[in-house]
Structure 1
Amino acid sequence: MQEIELKFLVPESRLKGLMRQAKVKSSQVTQLAAHYYDTPDQQLAQAGIGLRIRQEGDAWVQTIKAGGDGIAARLEHNATLDNEQVQNMLENNALMPDLTIYKDSLIAPALTDFKLKKLAKKLTRLYVTDVERTTRLLIEDTSDEVVNSIEMAYDYGEIIHGTDDTQRDAIQEVEFELIAGELDFLFTTAKTWCQRHKLCLSTVTKAERGGLLIKGQNYSSATAADLSTLSINKKITMPAFLRAVVHNCLLQILPNSSAIVAGSKDNDHILQLSIGIERLHTVLQAFDSFSDEINPDWSAILQQTATLLADYRKLAHLSNHIEPMLQQHGAPIVDWTADIDAIKITPVTAISANDFQIMLLELIAFTMSDPSLEPQTDKLAINKLEKVLIKYYDKLLEAEQYLEDSYDDSDSELEKESIIKALHNLHAHLKNLCSISELVAPLYSKKKTKRWLKRAVKAQKALGQQLNMIDCQQYYQCKASSDSAALYAAGWLNAASIPIEKATEKHLDKFYDCSVFW
């Protein structure tokens, strides 16, 4: 069976209002005590699998979950256990899952990498959850006699370390699971509750949170783009291709945004979220003609959010990376704390914004919708990609020409500002072209794309490093008006950028000399 559900974190300020909607006459309250199992080195968790035995009212149920078909979908297998046997095992502290029941089940493919007998011997109880669940059924009767129904479940409780019950993590989340009917009803309902109660999407399962508790971590590591998860071929249609690449971008965005709304201030989460947002914005701009279901508001929201994140990220980068490096080279301390505190919109406020959260829901719904229902379902993506690639390559060449023209300005100060602007413009176009090319590469010759992408990515990274040094130098130069200690850093960064500039020119020349792969 495949469960389709959406999970949200509940802001403390909205909890009372949500509870009024959750605890109605028809709602039910159930105490859930769950025992989660894995190997000591968490092999199941690494494979995206969660295994538990949970008391649900008077029954004990063994459940296994694994990745499903879509961001909001997971494979799930439930088996009701014999109560007497469970009680006997509990009394002897020997409660363990029975893996033999999965041998011929629909979940079996998710366990193909494991030898079940060997796995069973390694399993141990890593953590338990103690949760009070309030459930309510949301039903919509449609005119065509199809009944849409969703189970809304509010969970309140904690995760407890399996061997040290002093280590605990609070649970306060709401889930919407499609029981029957149309997928659109799930997303429409979730959007309504999200708007009303300022809910924030979270892709972090209880199993993941338990794994983090065992490791002594609050959040998972930042998630970078993973092109190996992109499943496309030369026969893919335009609407299906766009859904696949949007899905790939969301796989980078959602884990990082989930960590941030949960409280992470880690620079890597913010960086990878920013990269994911920029990739997605480029995708929606480049392939907007591939689907009739693209909402033009998505691009505007992505662009606005990226800008808001950039302001905070630059100052955090100065404080956490550039400043320690400068101090190693003897620079006096420059404190950026007041500048960071002065930023009105932090990453968590930007990501928690209702329009951003609603957009994420709409994008997930888009990736899970049926591409064959679109008018262009008979058109292959491969036949349109060359036109897109040429368009973005020509924009890059125009940006390069703009850069060359900027060097001709007679006024030195104006020339410097113009050159920096031109470099940023060139980098933006090169980054866009790289993002598109990496996504379409599986549809072209591996030999040609590998060589071209290698040079393109090196040029992009070198130019990005050069611009980072320039931007940091400008920040310190500006800071020097109120803190003279920043003058040393500004001078040091200016000198350090010279060899980086030469390396960038070298990488760009190699890239321009390389034949395109399309």
Structure 2
Amino acid sequence: MTEFELKFQVPRERAASVEAALQRGAVERTRLRARYFDTADAALARHCLVLRLRQEGRHLVQAAKGPGGRGFDRLEHEMPLAQHADTPDISLHADHPVGKLLRRALDEASSPLQPVFETDIVRHSRVLKAAGTSVEIALDQGRIRAGDASLPVLELEFELKEGNPATLVELAQRWCEQHGLWLDPLSKSAAAWRLADGVQQAPAVQAEAVQPQDSAQALLAAILDAGLAQVLGNARELAAGNGGDEHVHQLRVGLRRVRTALRELGAWAPPGAIAQDLGDALHEVFGVLGEHRDRSTLLPKLRAELEAVGAPLAGWDAPLPDVAAVVRSTDFQLPLLRLVALVQELHAGASGGLKGARKDARARLHKLHRKTLRDGRKFRALAAPQRHQVRKRLKRLRYLSELVRPLFDGKAVDRYVASLKQLQDALGAYQDAAAGRQMFAQHATEDGRAWFAAGWLTAREEELAADCERACRKTSGDVQPFWT
């Protein structure tokens, strides 16, 4: 069995309202006490597998879970056990796909299974049925324990029992709007492992390579799926207050990848599947993340350079935007849920071949390549908005090249992307000077001493503009398009 479910964190101050909303129908209360098993060297966790024994009221149930192959789908297999059972029996899953994954992981393990952590949860659940779709909504409250450490749980889950995933997403959107929920892809078992290992801040989630697919629609689904995983992995750390500058950076990268796919490859989706405003909704959060990056990473670097030349205001520190609040807001959560629904729709309807996709990708790559290098070769003569456009086009060209890599010779794609690095670095340095100049010019309305830094950076902009033009001319001569 493959399950589709979405899990949300419930703000502590909204717990009562969520529970009251759940109580408007027939609610079942169940105490769930579970023990999770793994080997001393975490063989199951390394393979993203979960094996648990859970007391569900009067029943003892053994469950095995594993990757479902895409997005929010998970392999799951449950079997009832006798009440006296104390250890899991993996042979019960032998005829299920997750059982084969368990066997393979344990064959590589260096130690036997043992209990590693436990959960004690009170679940209030209710099943909603509409238009042939059945969704279970479950409010989980309790604790995760690993040794002497513990972690509170306050989550709301939406699990598809039968029917259309889009109906589940629409339902989740309404609850998200009403109660300020935020989407959390981290499972209880993954949270427990962090607790057991004493992890205070998880590493930022980087982009994963997209695997080849057999149709344009399936490839678009895989591209968006991978982008969504990167976005959600970093967004949840920021929303939980555990993220840092690298999480902000990787969230921006993930959003760029998703927005590039929506803009450049949206024609691969069925007509009307991608709403025109979806990319714009993500762009608003992208802007706040950019402001955070400029103030937390760029500004300290500029301050050091200003101090070296004896400039005033070398100690000025601009306040950071509240990234956690922005990520938790419904203005960001709702577009994420729309992306989840889109990916599910694309996966469900994927068919056809790749010939048309290659032709379309070639045309788009050629157009971006030509426009970027044409304008870049006259960079100094361009006005500031046109210079910014060159950098944005180069970013799209790079990300599009990486996204469509499964359609072409991978090594040729990698060489092409690498050949853009010098131009990317030059444009990045120019953009940093421009962003710094804007920050100090804005601050100069409050403190006139900031005009020195603004003027100093304006002069640097023109020096760096010349570097951009030279880098573009060199790139034009060296780069070898992979799509021809």
Q: TM-score range by the shorter chain?
A: 0.7 to 0.9
Structure 1 match to 2:333: 357
Q: What is the distance in 1 between the residues matched to 2:456 and 2:34?
A: 57
Q: Is the 8 A contact 1:42 1:211 kept in 2?
A: no
Q: Structure 1 pair 426/104, CA: closer, same or farther in 2 (3 Å)? A: same
Q: What is the distance in 2 between the residues matched to 1:285 and 1:55?
A: 48
Structure 2 match to 1:56: 56
The answer as to 2:402 corresponding to 1:438 is yes
Query: What displacement does 1:256 show?
Result: 1.0
Q: What is the distance in 1 between the residues matched to 2:359 and 2:29?
A: 55
Query: What displacement does 1:323 show?
Result: 5.5
Percent identity, please: 29
Secondary structure of the residue that 1:296 maps to in structure 2? Answer: coil
Residue number among 238, 246, 259 corresponding to 2:224 in the alignment: 246
Q: What is the distance in 2 between the residues matched to 1:182 and 1:277?
A: 27
Q: Judge which range, 285-294 or 202-211, deviates more.
A: 285-294
Structure 2 match to 1:273: 251
Q: Structure 1 pair 468/160, CA: closer, same or farther in 2 (3 Å)? A: same
Structure 2 match to 1:186: 168
Query: What displacement does 1:336 show?
Result: 5.2
Query: What displacement does 1:299 show?
Result: 1.3
Q: What do the CA deviations read for 1:348-367 (whole angstroms, capped 9, x no partner)?
A: 23222323212211211211
Q: TM-score, normalised by structure 2?
A: 0.87
Q: What is the distance in 2 between the residues matched to 1:35 and 1:371?
A: 34
- Whichever residue aligns with residue 3 of structure 1, its letter is E
- Whichever residue aligns with residue 77 of structure 1, its letter is H
Q: Structure 1 pair 333/39, CA: closer, same or farther in 2 (3 Å)? A: farther
Q: Judge which range, 458-467 or 375-384, deviates more.
A: 375-384
Q: What is the distance in 1 between the residues matched to 2:43 and 2:212?
A: 28
Q: What is the distance in 2 between the residues matched to 1:128 and 1:327?
A: 53
Q: Judge which range, 282-291 or 202-211, deviates more.
A: 282-291
Q: What is the distance in 2 between the residues matched to 1:378 and 1:478?
A: 49
- Whichever residue aligns with residue 253 of structure 2, its letter is I
- Whichever residue aligns with residue 277 of structure 1, its letter is L
Q: What is the distance in 2 between the residues matched to 1:138 and 1:351?
A: 28
Q: Structure 1 pair 505/429, CA: closer, same or farther in 2 (3 Å)? A: same
Q: Structure 1 pair 506/42, CA: closer, same or farther in 2 (3 Å)? A: farther
Structure 2 match to 1:123: 113
Secondary structure of the residue that 1:221 maps to in structure 2? Answer: coil
Residue number among 242, 247, 266 corresponding to 1:288 in the alignment: 266
Q: What do the CA deviations read for 1:204-235 (whole angstroms, capped 9, x no partner)?
A: 100111111122224421111112xx1224xx
Query: What displacement does 1:400 show?
Result: 1.4
Residue number among 186, 190, 210 corresponding to 1:208 in the alignment: 190
Q: What do the CA deviations read for 1:318-346 (whole angstroms, capped 9, x no partner)?
A: 46666679889999995555x315x4xx2
**Mapping for residues 464-475 of structure 1, pairs under 5 Å:** 464-472=428-436, 475=439
Q: What is the distance in 1 between the residues matched to 2:465 and 2:113?
A: 54
Q: What do the CA deviations read for 1:52-84 (whole angstroms, capped 9, x no partner)?
A: 222111222222211113211111122222212
Q: Is the 8 A contact 2:25 2:126 kept in 1?
A: no
**Mapping for residues 75-474 of structure 1, pairs under 5 Å:** 75-86=75-86, 96-111=87-102, 113-116=104-107, 119=109, 121-140=111-130, 142=131, 147-161=132-146, 163-164=147-148, 167-227=149-209, 230-233=210-213, 236-291=214-269, 292=271, 293-318=273-298, 334-335=314-315, 339-340=318-319, 343=321, 346-370=322-346, 373=349, 380-401=356-377, 403-406=379-382, 418=383, 421-472=385-436
Q: What is the distance in 1 between the residues matched to 2:41 and 2:444?
A: 50
Q: What is the distance in 2 between the residues matched to 1:476 and 1:41?
A: 52
Q: Structure 1 pair 200/336, CA: closer, same or farther in 2 (3 Å)? A: farther
Structure 2 match to 1:414: none
Q: What is the distance in 2 between the residues matched to 1:330 and 1:115?
A: 63
Q: What do the CA deviations read for 1:87-145 (whole angstroms, capped 9, x no partner)?
A: xxxxxxxxx433343444321343364244x63834333222111111111112x3xxx
Q: Judge which range, 121-130 or 275-284, deviates more.
A: 121-130
Secondary structure of the residue that 1:64 maps to in structure 2? Answer: strand
RMSD in angstroms over aligned alpha carbons?
Answer: 3.3
Q: Judge which range, 34-43 or 10-19, deviates more.
A: 34-43
Q: TM-score, normalised by structure 1?
A: 0.82
- Whichever residue aligns with residue 111 of structure 2, its letter is K
Query: What displacement does 1:262 show?
Result: 1.8
Query: What displacement does 1:203 show?
Result: 0.3
Q: What do the CA deviations read for 1:477-508 (whole angstroms, capped 9, x no partner)?
A: 76578679979988998999999888766654
Q: Structure 1 pair 425/137, CA: closer, same or farther in 2 (3 Å)? A: same
Structure 2 match to 1:413: none
Q: What is the distance in 2 between the residues matched to 1:128 and 1:331?
A: 57
Q: What is the distance in 2 between the residues matched to 1:299 and 1:350?
A: 17
Q: What do the CA deviations read for 1:423-460 (whole angstroms, capped 9, x no partner)?
A: 43222111110000111122112343232121124532
Q: Structure 1 pair 445/120, CA: closer, same or farther in 2 (3 Å)? A: closer
- Whichever residue aligns with residue 216 of structure 1, its letter is G
Q: Is the 8 A contact 1:156 1:173 kept in 2?
A: yes
Q: What do the CA deviations read for 1:251-299 (whole angstroms, capped 9, x no partner)?
A: 2111111222222341111111111112211211112322211111101
Q: Structure 1 pair 504/395, CA: closer, same or farther in 2 (3 Å)? A: closer
Q: Structure 1 pair 503/153, CA: closer, same or farther in 2 (3 Å)? A: same
Q: What do the CA deviations read for 1:183-217 (whole angstroms, capped 9, x no partner)?
A: 22212221222222222111010011111112222
- Whichever residue aligns with residue 97 of structure 2, its letter is L
Secondary structure of the residue that 1:114 maps to in structure 2? Answer: helix
The answer as to 2:481 corresponding to 1:516 is yes
Query: What displacement does 1:239 show?
Result: 2.5
Q: Is the 8 A contact 2:377 2:473 kept in 1?
A: no
Q: What is the distance in 1 between the residues matched to 2:474 and 2:432?
A: 21
- Whichever residue aligns with residue 92 of structure 2, its letter is I
Q: Is the 8 A contact 1:371 1:377 kept in 2?
A: no
Q: What is the distance in 2 between the residues matched to 1:192 and 1:481?
A: 43
Q: Is the 8 A contact 1:403 1:423 kept in 2?
A: yes
Query: Which consecutive residues of structure 2, in runs of 5 or more, have no partner in the other structure?
Result: none
Q: Structure 1 pair 24/479, CA: closer, same or farther in 2 (3 Å)? A: closer
